[in-house]
Structures are given as C-alpha cells and as structure tokens.
C-alpha cells in the first residue's frame, strides 16, 4: 500500500487508513454453506483482539515460535497478521513439539498436544462459533478473543528484518513477506479494488500470497474459498460473477 510498509501489520494499517469500509476478506466454506465478509475495519478489529490475546493472555514475545495448524480460513488470516503485529514467528504447519505455542483447528488437536506451551483451539464454526465442549488442555479462541481490547500496541517495536513467517520450509522476515507479496500482486495483475478468488490451501507461499498477502499489498480483496471442489463449474462461474471477481487462483 505505502512504500514505507515493512511488515504485514503495516500493510493492514495502511489499508485501514485508506478505506476502512471496503471488503478485504470474503470467506466461503462450500462444505457448510458458510459465507462471511469482513471489511478492512472488521478484519483489523479481529487482528487487534487476537494480537492482544497473544501478547497479554498468552505472554507471547517477539521471536517466539507459533505452530499454526489451521486451513485456509478467514480466522487463519487474522492469526497471520496478529503474529506480525506482535513479532511472533508464524510457522505454517509447524511442529508443535518445538514451538513456544500452538494454534490448532479441530482436526489437528491431538497433534497440537505435543506443544508444551500455550495451546489455542479454533472450532472453525460459522460466525466464529465456539466448541460445544472446550477441548481439554486448550483455550477456546472463540471464548477468549471477544473480551480482548479493540486497539493493539506492541510492548516492543517489531523488527521488520526479524523472522516472521515459515512456509514451504523457508523462513521469511516481515520485510521479505511484504516484498514477495508486492511482487506476487504485480505478477497477478492486482490493482487497487481488484477481487481475487482463491481456492488454494494455506500450506504454500502461493496459497498465502493469493489468499491474503498479495491482495493486502495491492489494496485489493480476496474471495477465499475452502472446499471449493464441492462446487460445480456453473456454480463457480456464478460466484465469480456475483463476487465481481477479476483474478482467479485455483
């Protein structure tokens, strides 16, 4: 967004200053029929609350490693930018046993128990719903996050040249994430106001770039689709039209 943005959290702050009301993430789960649309302001509010949970309740510090065991989902996008806000290294699909804390979806809880630090579980239910019965040994994100503050300020400045993200076995600094996101946005022809539909998983850089970082860097928005294989070609064509999609990543 701005030449001075050096971390994903900076990109979000610039997007918020430019136009807080425009859509940023529109999420579909085609296995459940869920659709959620988050404006820049709403997404930023979730990020602030999650960053406050990380820094305050979970006592996470810059340089701590967080194993992120979540699929392509709007809440995963929130966690990625919240980690950037605090200075925590988000290890996508990372090993919980070697992480300082872990954030897990409902299908990877047993794997996540290997983490000896703080454990957070997400039910990934429509509208950010909580677990019917909280998993033993985990904080339920949907229970903990609503009471967190709507504004976030890090205890220590985040170094853009410190590690920020691990994906595909490669470690990237915040500055490198921003640089690659801008390159990816240019390569996809993303311009301000563009709408990118992504059905890619979040376990690769391509999936993260299409599903979050490139649209954020370009002043565009993403239509993030989980279980896209449930759709027929006709339904996908209708979605592209109804969501005013200009770029597709499948």
CA-CA-CA-CA dihedral for 223, 227, 232, 235, to nearest 10:
-30
pTM above 0.75, yes or no: yes
Q: Considering the domain boundaries, does residue 134 fall inside one?
A: yes
Q: Considering the domain boundaries, does residue 94 fall inside one?
A: yes
Q: Considering the domain boundaries, does residue 2 fall inside one?
A: no
CATH of residue 131's domain is 3.40.50.12780
Domain that holds residue 152: 8-249
Contacts of 134 (CB under 8 A, 6+ apart): 121, 140, 143
Give residue 32's pLDDT: 93
Question: Average pLDDT for residues 157-164, to the nearest whole number?
Answer: 97
Q: State the Cα–Cα distance between residues 215 and 101, nearest whole angstrom.
A: 28
Going by C-alpha positions, the residue among 9, 41, 27 that lies closest to residue 128 is 27
Q: Considering the domain boundaries, does residue 170 fall inside one?
A: yes
Count of domains in the chain? 1
Q: What is the pLDDT of residues 177-229, one digit of tens each?
A: 999 999 999 999 999 999 999 999 999 999 999 999 999 999 999 999 999 99
Parallel, antiparallel, or unpaired for β 89-92 and 65-69? Answer: parallel
Q: Considering the domain boundaries, does residue 1 fall inside one?
A: no
Give residue 1's pLDDT: 63
Q: Considering the domain boundaries, does residue 181 fall inside one?
A: yes
Q: What is the pLDDT of residues 20-62, one digit of tens each?
A: 999 999 999 999 999 999 999 999 999 999 999 999 999 999 9
Q: Considering the domain boundaries, does residue 33 fall inside one?
A: yes
Going by C-alpha positions, the residue among 151, 180, 146, 175 that lies closest to residue 161 is 175
Q: Considering the domain boundaries, does residue 121 fall inside one?
A: yes
């Amino acid at each position: 967004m701005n030449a001075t943005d050096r971390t994903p959290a900076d990109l979000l702050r610039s997007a918020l200053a430019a136009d807080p009301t425009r859509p940023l993430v529109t999420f579909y789960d085609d296995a459940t029929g869920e659709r959620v649309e988050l404006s820049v302001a709403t997404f930023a509010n979730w990020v602030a609350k999650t960053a406050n949970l990380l820094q305050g309740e979970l006592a996470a510090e810059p340089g701590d490693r967080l194993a992120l065991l979540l699929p392509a989902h709007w809440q995963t996008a929130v966690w990625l930018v919240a980690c950037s806000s605090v200075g925590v290294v988000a290890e996508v699909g990372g090993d919980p046993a070697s992480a300082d804390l872990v954030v897990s979806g409902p299908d990877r809880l047993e794997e996540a128990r290997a983490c000896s630090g703080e454990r957070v579980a997400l039910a990934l239910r429509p509208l950010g719903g909580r677990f019917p019965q909280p998993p033993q040994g985990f904080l339920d994100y949907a229970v903990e996050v609503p009471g967190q503050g709507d504004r976030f300020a890090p205890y220590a400045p985040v170094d853009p040249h410190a590690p920020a993200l691990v994906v595909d076995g490669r470690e990237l600094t915040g500055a490198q994430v921003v640089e690659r996101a801008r390159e990816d946005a240019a390569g996809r022809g993303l311009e301000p106001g563009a709408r990118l539909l992504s059905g890619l998983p979040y376990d690769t850089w391509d999936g993260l770039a299409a599903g979050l970082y490139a649209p954020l860097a370009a002043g565009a928005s993403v239509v993030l689709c989980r279980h896209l294989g449930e759709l027929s070609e006709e339904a996908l064509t209708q979605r592209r039209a109804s969501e005013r999609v200009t770029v597709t990543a499948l």
